A = this chain, B = another copy of it.
Amino acid sequence: MSKTPIVEVINFGDELLVGIRENSHLTYLGAQLARFGLPIQRSRVITDEAIEIKRAFLDAWEHSDIVITTGGLGPTADDMTRENIAAALGAELVFEPAIEAQIEARFKALGRPMAAHHRKQCYRFIDGKVLQNERGTAPGLAYQCKSKTLIMLPGPTHELTPMFEKQAIPFLQSLGALSEEEAYLQIRTCGSGESTVEETMQPLVQSHPDLTVAYCVHYGIVDVRLSSRDRRLDMEQIKAIGQEARELLGEDFVCFGDCSLAKVVLHELRALDRSLAIAESCTGGLLCDAFTNLAGASKVFVGGVVCYSNDVKVSKVGVPESIIEQHGAVSAECAIAMASGIAENLCSDYGLSVTGFAGPDGGDEKNPVGTIHLGYHSPVGVWCKTVRYTGGRLDVKARAVHAALDWMRRKLRKYKVEEFLSCGERD
């Protein structure tokens, strides 16, 4: 195929439309195809009704080069994708004894006879290909007509996944539709809003007319994705632009790819062979959770205290009572005392703390709901920082966790620079 083919995915299944289940097939197929340079152009979710199936399929077939469907290939009466699409295409389905033999073998292995309703799964397009299902009864089907390609996959994730990777991807590669080159470069940033990041990227957008830039925001993180439509720029060129972007973004640059902020901090601490303890109040365990989601966290993270009451702040974190009396539990002073106290109490090199009002209740004139004080204790010094967020309790928690991690990431980076400078001074 000379130009990038247009891919459309159709997911059949009522459960995706009434909030029962997330459409993880789309996420999976999107990631797989993007990895090989073929982003999905559009997708739709359709109920299992004959008229809907036919209409959606024909519209997709008309406007796309490759159509991939999921679901509706099972043996029951509401599995009607195969028959309805064949009817819409005016393509003939033929009985394939090889499929029947495989389904029978599968049931034999389970010690059961094949039920009669599985016979409907034994059909393929007259000029089409069968995609073997190594984990279930529903085979996938492939069909080509003129310059268009149809791939039909079964609904269950554990059946779809190996079928797609072992059979559909090589098939699409054999057509020249997929390459082995990645299609985009992601730059993760934190610390500036989407519009500021966009302004920062402006010089690159202007100097590279073939560059496509997209932004994705989540709780203070702004991901920038660099790509080039119709592959006018190759990956080497995009990576070079990525390096320019990194320079422009300065400290806001977190990483290329999709490392979590906690992972970046963890990597820095592992490289330094230093340990970390956490004291958190309003984030209530979410900051510890961010670290402990990472395999191998225990090599750096010794533990944390969720100090929801003042008693626990004093007795378990080591905050002096006088600090709480004079400044309150939600104060920069308390945040610093928490960071140093937890590091001392849990015998770690670094201490990170969060105290604030996540809402909906609490807060006062000086510290309204959404005010968060961060404390940071390190071998080279102690700092505090205050941030303020709007939004619900869970949003404020998530933002505060990202703020704490991003702040620590910056401090760790600066510390290394200072260490370097002081080495230089000693020479």
Footprint of B on A, CB under 8 Å? 13-24, 26-35, 39-48, 52, 55-56, 59, 63, 74-78, 115, 117-118, 135, 156, 158, 162, 183-184, 194-195, 198, 213-218, 223, 225, 258, 278, 282-293, 295-298, 301-309, 311-312, 315-316, 345-347, 359-361, 390-395, 397
A225 CA / B40 CA spacing, docked (Å): 31
Q: Which of B18, B23, B42, B301 contacts A22 (CB 8 A)?
A: B23
- Contact yes or no, A76 B285, CB < 8 A: no
Specify how many copies of this chain sit in the oligomer: 2
> Of B14, B77, B158, B312, which is within 8 A of A346 by CB?
B312
Main secondary structure of the interface of A (DSSP, over half): mixed
Chain B nearest CB, measured from A257 CB (Å): 11
Chain B residues within 8 Å of A288, by CB: 284-285, 288, 306
What B residues does A283 contact at CB under 8 A? 292
**Considering the chains assembled together, what is the distance between the CA atoms of A21 and B347 in angstroms?**
38
In the bound complex, do residue A391 and residue B158 qualify as a contact, i.e. CB atoms below 8 Å apart? Answer: yes
Q: Which of B78, B214, B392 contacts A48 (CB 8 A)?
A: B214
The answer, among B20, B195, B392, for a CB contact under 8 Å with A214, is B20
Chain B residues lying within 8 Å of A41, measured Cβ to Cβ, are: 17, 47, 52
Q: How far is the CA of A299 from the CA of B46 in the complex (A)?
A: 43
Known: A20-B223, A44-B44, A346-B316. A285 touches B306 (CB 8 A): yes
> Given A77-B198, A215-B78, do A293 and B394 touch, yes or no (CB 8 Å)?
yes
Question: What are the 10 tightest A-B residue pairs by CB atom distance, in nearest-first order?
Answer: A19-B31, A284-B292, A285-B288, A285-B285, A285-B289, A18-B34, A19-B30, A303-B312, A44-B44, A17-B40
Q: Are A391 and B198 in contact (CB under 8 A)?
A: no
Centre residue among A19, A156, A359 by max chain B CB count within 10 A: A19
Minimum distance in angstroms from A34 CB to a CB of chain B: 4
A354 vs chain B, min Cβ distance (A):
11
Chain B residues near A13: list those with CB within 8 A: 216
